[in-house]
Amino acid sequence: MKAKSKKVLLTLCCAFALVAVTIVGTVAYLTSQDTVTNTFTVGNVAITLDEADVNTDGTVIAGAERVKANEYHLLPGHTYTKDPIVHVTTGSEACWLFVKVENGISAIEDSSNTIADQMAANGWTLVDGTTNIYARATTNQAGENVVVFENFKISGTADAAAYKDAKDANITVTAYAVQADGFTSAADAWKAANFQ
């Protein structure tokens, strides 16, 4: 009986172990898991500046691509096409626009149609504390094309010395953009950007 008793005891131990494993195997903690993944992109402000391609007499070359520079042959009383346009690039953030206009022919410009007058008519205002930096009064969105001015006209009454001084003069337009977000005015954006 001793062997039988050992066998029964061994069978009982095995049965108990089987029940214990089954019970332990069915005990589980309630759990849950979830994930949030953040993807970051960096915003950008992007602009381009160009003007119509013109002949030296200021007439537009039909069908030509817009360009970065033109040459002009100046004559008294003549009007020349010069139409710089700032393009806010598709995908750009909303922005404040600025232009620096260095007008080397201001001494011989016709006073009835100055570049400064055209800029004012197009919504550009002089930035306080500057002499040739202009800002748009409103923010600009991606895809907008903003005209700076359309042309310039040479005075028919300027003296010969002024024409001679204008021989090697330039009209240089430089465009700038600053993100609109975080600024309530163009003046604040200009000051913060610290352009030179």
**Which domains does the chain show, CATH number per domain?**
47-193 (2.60.40)
Q: What is the pLDDT of residue 22?
A: 60
Residue 159: the pLDDT is 81
pLDDT digits 0-9 by tens, 128-183: 989 999 999 899 999 999 999 999 999 988 788 888 888 889 999 999 999 999 99
Six-digit token string for 119: 């800029």
pLDDT, tens digit (0-9, with 9 covering 90-100), for 178-193: 999 999 999 999 999 9
What's the whole-model pTM score?
A: 0.79
pLDDT digits (tens, 9 = 90+) for 109-130: 999 989 999 999 999 999 998 9
Nearest residue to 136 (alpha-carbon basis) of 97, 102, 182, 86: 97
